[in-house]
Structure 1
Amino acid sequence: MKNLFQKYKHAWVLLYAFLYFPCFIYLEKHITKDFHVIHMPLDDHIPFLEIFIIPYTLWFAYIAGTILYFFFTDVREYYKLTAFLFIGMTIFLIVSALYPNGQLLRPQEFPRENIFTDMVRVLYNSDTPTNILPSIHVYNSIGACIAILRCDALKKHRFIHIGAPVLSILIILSTMYLKQHSVWDVIFGIGMAWVLYYFIYQVDYAAARAKRKSKVKRYS
Structure 2
Amino acid sequence: MRTTVFQRSPWAALSLLLSVPLLSLIYVYVNRLDLPAYSLETDLDRQIPFVKIFVLPYLGWFAFLLAGFVYLAFKNRAIYLRTLLRFNAGLLVCYAVYLGYQTTVARPEVADVSWLDHLVLLVYNGDEPVNCFPSTHVLTSYCLLRAFRETPGAGRPIRLAVTGMSVLIILSTLFVKQHVLLDAVGAIAVVEGVYFAADRLAALRAKRNAASPGDPAFRPMPDSL
TM-score calculated relative to the size of structure 2: 0.82
Matching residue of 1:177: 175
Please tell me whether residue 138 in structure 1 is matched to residue 125 in structure 2.
no
**Is the Cα–Cα contact under 8 Å of residues 102 and 133 in structure 2 kept in the other structure?**
no
CA distance in 2, matches of 1:36, 1:198: 29
Contact kept in structure 1, 2:110 and 2:121, CA below 8 Å: no
After superposition, residues 1-220 of structure 1 pair within 5 angstroms as 7=9, 8-11=11-14, 13-17=16-20, 19-31=22-34, 34-103=36-105, 105-110=106-111, 113-155=113-155, 158-201=156-199, 203-213=202-212
Q: 8 Å contact 1:80–1:200 — kept in the other structure?
A: no
Deviation track 1:142-165 (CA, whole Å, cap 9, x = no partner) reads 11111112212212xx32121111
- SS of the aligned residue for 1:22 comes to helix
CA distance in 2, matches of 1:196, 1:81: 10
Which residue of the partner structure matches residue 220 of structure 2?
none
Amino acid at match of 2:109: Q
Code of the aligned partner of 1:99: Y
For 1:52, the aligned partner's letter is: F
- List alignment gaps of at least 5 residues for structure 1: none
Range moving further from structure 2, 94-103 or 170-179: 94-103
Aligned counterparts of 2:143 and 2:85: Cα–Cα separation in 1 = 10
Alignment CA distance shift 1:59-1:205 (3 Å):
farther
- Which whole-Å deviations, capped at 9, do the CAs of 1:114-156 have from their partners, x for residues lacking one? 221211011101011100110111111111111112212212x
Percent identity, aligned pairs only, is: 26
State the AA in 2 paired with 1:184: L
Structure 2 unaligned regions, length at least 5? 216-225
Aligned residues: 207
Find the aligned partners of 1:169 and 1:186 in 2 and give their Cα distance. 11
Return the alpha-carbon distance in structure 2 between the equivalents of residues 119 and 15 of structure 1: 27
C-alpha RMSD of the superposition: 2.4
Aligned-pair CA distance for 1:167: 1.1
Counterparts in 2 of 1:135 and 1:212: CA distance versus 1, 3 Å: farther
Contact 2:93 2:190 in 1 (8 A): no
**Using a 3 Å threshold, how does the CA distance of structure 1 residues 11 and 64 change in structure 2: closer, same or farther?**
closer
| Counterparts in 2 of 1:120 and 1:18: CA distance versus 1, 3 Å | closer
- The Cα offsets for residues 162-217 of structure 1, whole Å up to 9 and x where unpaired, read as 11111111111110110000111011011112222223357535422224537x9x
**How big is the shift at 1:12?**
5.9
What TM-score, normalized to structure 1?
0.83
In structure 2, what is the Cα distance between the partners aligned to 1:212 and 1:28? 47
